[in-house]
Every structure is written in C-alpha cells, then in structure tokens.
Amino acid sequence: MSDALQGQAAHAIVAKADIQYRWRVYVFFILVFGYGLWSLRDGFIIWPRENAQWQAMIARGERPPQSPHNDAGLLINQVLGIVLPAVSLPAFAWLMYRSRGAYRLADDMLYVPGHPPVPLEAIQSLDKSLWERKGIAIAEYELVGGRKGTITLRDMVYSRRETDMIVRRVEEHLDPAAAPPQTPAST
C-alpha cells in the first residue's frame, strides 16, 4: 500500500454495526417469535385437546386435574400465536437492515448506508436535540446537483466511540469556533 493510501486510511473514522445492538435484536426476535410459536401451539393444539379430555372426564363423572381453559385464554393465545410471528419477522428484518454497513468519514467525505457520499461542505445543519438522551444526531445536507437529504447517526446502532467522533467532526466543521483548541505537537 502506498504512503498516500496509508495516510488516508489512518485518518478515516469507521463506525461498524454495534455487536451489542445486534445481539439485542437477535434476543428480541427469538423471544417474540418463540413466544408466538408457543402461544400458537397452546391456542390451537394443546389447550383444545386438554379441554376435550377434561370435558370427557367430567362427562364420565371424574374430576379433571384442573378446570378447563376458558375461551378468552384460548382466543388470546390464538391471536398472539398468529400476530407475534407475523410482526417479529418484519421487525427483525428492519432492525437488521438499519444496522447494515458502516458509517465512514474519510477525507471530509461522509459515507452512510442508504445515502450518496456527502462532503462535509454539503452538510447544512446538525440537530443534536436527541443526542444527549438517545444518541441520535440528524444532519441535513444539500449536494451540488440540488439533491437534499437527511442523515441520521445513531450511536446505539453503530459503534459508539467512532459515531461520537464522526458527530464531533461534523460539528467542528459546521462551527470551527466550537472546536477544542489544538496544542502544537512537540518535536
């Protein structure tokens, strides 16, 4: 690799998808989808079978081990068994899609999945009203051809340290006076 390419790579800030975020999404999906399957099984197979067995015991004059499952419980399990798997699959796909790729800032060019490369000069504003509480910063940009857009940077979805560095760099570019003073390097 040439010295110029090594210098560019050294100055690039790359925020990859956060492993903790992805594990939370996996666990959420497994819990919701699994509970939906369990409810599906109980609402359509197990509980109706138990009710039939217990009704037969009652008809023979025997005492069932417990009272039959009521219709509301059956209906709730049937609805949850259909709705939870149907909702969890698209939610899982959307949450994983949201964390695809990486944020990258290199040579004053911001690369964010789903957006064209955006030069820092094209960024017009940075909304950090949700930054302290939720780690969300929204940058509005206008490219040379007049194309406008907004980029949402989330430090929960992508690695926090690097996302924070990118947001700080964008903020410094928009307001150089807000940048911390640089101390000269000693030789």
Q: Which of 176, 179, 186, 170 is nearest to 105 (CA)?
A: 170
pTM, full prediction = 0.76
pLDDT at residue 8, as a whole number: 46
Q: Quick check: 96 and 112 in contact, CB under 8 A?
A: no
Tokens of 69: 């499952």
pLDDT at residue 182, as a whole number: 54
The overall average pLDDT reported for the chain is 91
Angle (nearest 5°) at CA 159 between 163 and 23? 150
C-alpha distances out from residue 152 to 19, 84, 90, 161, Å? 19, 29, 21, 16
Please report, for the chain, the start and end positions of each structural domain, with discontinuous segments joined by +: 19-98, 103-178
pLDDT at residue 119, as a whole number: 97
pLDDT of 85-107, one tens digit each?
Answer: 999 999 999 999 999 999 999 99
Q: Does domain 103-178 have CATH number 3.40.50?
A: no
pLDDT of 33-83, one tens digit each?
Answer: 999 999 999 999 999 999 999 999 999 999 999 999 999 999 999 999 999
Tokens of 96: 């994983």
pLDDT at residue 187, as a whole number: 42
Phi-psi region of 128 (alpha: psi -120 to 50; beta: other; left: phi over 0): alpha
pLDDT at residue 181, as a whole number: 59
As a whole number, mean pLDDT of residues 150-168 equals 96
pLDDT, greater one: 125 or 179: 125
- Judged by DSSP in three states, 153 sits in strand
pLDDT of 123-139, one tens digit each?
Answer: 999 999 999 999 999 99
pLDDT of 102-119, one tens digit each?
Answer: 999 999 999 999 999 999
Tokens of 86: 């149907």
As a whole number, mean pLDDT of residues 127-153 equals 95
